[in-house]
Amino acid sequence: MRYELDDFREIAPAIWMPFRILRTIPSQRLVARFDVHEISINDVSDGQFVFNPKAPGTLIRDRDTDAVTEIPGGLDLLDETTERVRNFATNGNLHRGGAITEWSGIALAAFGFGLGVAIRKSVGSFRTLLHRCAAGSGDSR
């Protein structure tokens, strides 16, 4: 892939931007041309740069402090998801009103992934314990 930038204009003191961009993918013989017709600088409110998650149950990890916090709530969704999984386990049916809802499939997949991670961690811890016992460390943690 190759990009050609052209028609540079100074949009602020010492800030130059291309107003024409040509993207070429030689292996597929594709060419796309982008023309910039309007541009503005610093025309965005500070609120656009604030991360404000609202979904209940969302986990937030602060990479600076390594602290993890959770947005409270989400138990109603958990109860509904549990009921659907229970229904699927007994009847093989995730339907509600005749249609599978998108989030049900996602929730089931996430549950399966989480269960898989938990099992892998347990197996890994069990293996570590076996290795320690075999080595005679006597430490049962």
Token digits of residue 76:
């109603």
**Is 50 among the domain residues?**
no
Burial classification of residue 108, based on how many CB atoms lie within 10 Å of its CB (0-12 exposed, 13-18 middle, 19 or more buried): middle
- Look at residue 139 in the predicted model and tell me its pLDDT: 47
Name the DSSP letter for residue 96.
Answer: B
**Is 27 among the domain residues?**
yes
Give the separation between CA 18 and CA 6, rounded to whole angstroms. 5
Predicted confidence (pLDDT) per residue in 69-116, tens digit: 888 877 777 777 788 888 877 776 655 544 455 555 566 566 555 554
* Same-domain pairing of 77 and 34: no
**Is 23 among the domain residues?**
yes
* Same-domain pairing of 31 and 78: no
**Is 62 among the domain residues?**
no
- Look at residue 140 in the predicted model and tell me its pLDDT: 46
**Is 109 among the domain residues?**
yes
Identify the residue whose tokens are 């600088």. Answer: 41
* Same-domain pairing of 125 and 80: yes
Contacts of 84 (CB under 8 A, 6+ apart): 94, 96, 104, 107, 108
**Is 141 among the domain residues?**
no
* Same-domain pairing of 85 and 127: yes
**Is 56 among the domain residues?**
no
**Is 64 among the domain residues?**
no
To 10 degrees, what angle do helices 102-135 and 75-91 make? 90
Token digits of residue 80:
């509904």
Domain count of the fold of the chain: 2
Average of pLDDT values for 12-38?
92
The residue segments making up the domain with residue 81 are: 73-135
